Structure 1
Amino acid sequence: MARFEEVSVHGYDEFCQAVSERKGKDVFAYFSGDKDAEGKSWCPDCVKAEPIVRGQLAHLPEDSVFIYCQVGERAFWKDPKNDFKKNLKLTGVPSLLRYGTPQKLVEEECFKADLVRMMFTED
């Protein structure tokens, strides 16, 4: 039995809905470029980071939530006015954040298993 809940969403609105349905929970969100029909993201860093982040999920706190969010196509992501950049202040993908806190790992930081584990284990 998983100690945490995993939710997959696509786009900003689905992300906001997933968060609002889990108020009071410890929410960790991983943002990645959209995947194609073969399951490959347009974002090479996202492809590299995902197995590293997933490899650390066992360290998530009890009863927490892991939201896997696809941010959209490359052209949408590159728009500086997209909701992820405007409202969540994301600067790159992949990004891993502890929702509601300043804790955030961006791009190459997501390649470091020890940093990912620290985010999952430290308050």
Structure 2
Amino acid sequence: MAAHTEIKVQGYEEFIKEVEKHKGKKVFVYFSGNKNEDGQSWCPDCVKAEPVVRGEMENLPEGSIFIYCQVGERPYWKDPSNEFKKNLGLTGVPTLLKYKTPQKLVDDECANADLVRLLFSED
């Protein structure tokens, strides 16, 4: 049995719906720029960080939820009033966080395997 469940969502509304479904569970969220049809994100830091984050997912707590959320295209992300920035206080992509806690990694921190492992394994 898998130690965690991965869910992929697109945009703020899908993200909120999924988070609501998993109240009371440990939820980790990776926010990334949208990918094109070739599977490449417009966000170079996201491209660099994703393999590192995926490589550390074995350290996710048993029964936890991992949400992979694409935040939208670059113009939407750059808008200071987008819902991710306004409602969640995100400042950059990639962002990896433990939902409803102050624990989060932003930009280059997401490409640091030690920091990612710590975020996944710390209680």
TM-score normalised per structure 1: 0.99
SS in 1 for 2:6: strand
Gaps of 5+ in 1: none
Determine the structure 2 residue equivalent to 1:118: 118
Structure 2 gaps, min length 5 = none
Summarize deviations over 1:22-53 as a string: whole Å, max 9, x none: 11110000000000000000000000000000
Partner of 1:3: 3
Question: Alignment RMSD, CA only?
Answer: 0.4
Deviation of the 1:67 alpha carbon: 0.1
How do residues 1-123 of structure 1 correspond to structure 2 at under 5 angstroms?
A: 1-123=1-123
SS at match of 1:56: helix
Moved over 3 A (4+): none
The TM-score normalised by the length of structure 2 is: 0.99
Q: For residue 22 of structure 2, give the secondary structure of its aligned residue in structure 1.
A: coil
Aligned length: 123
- Paired amino acid for 1:100: K
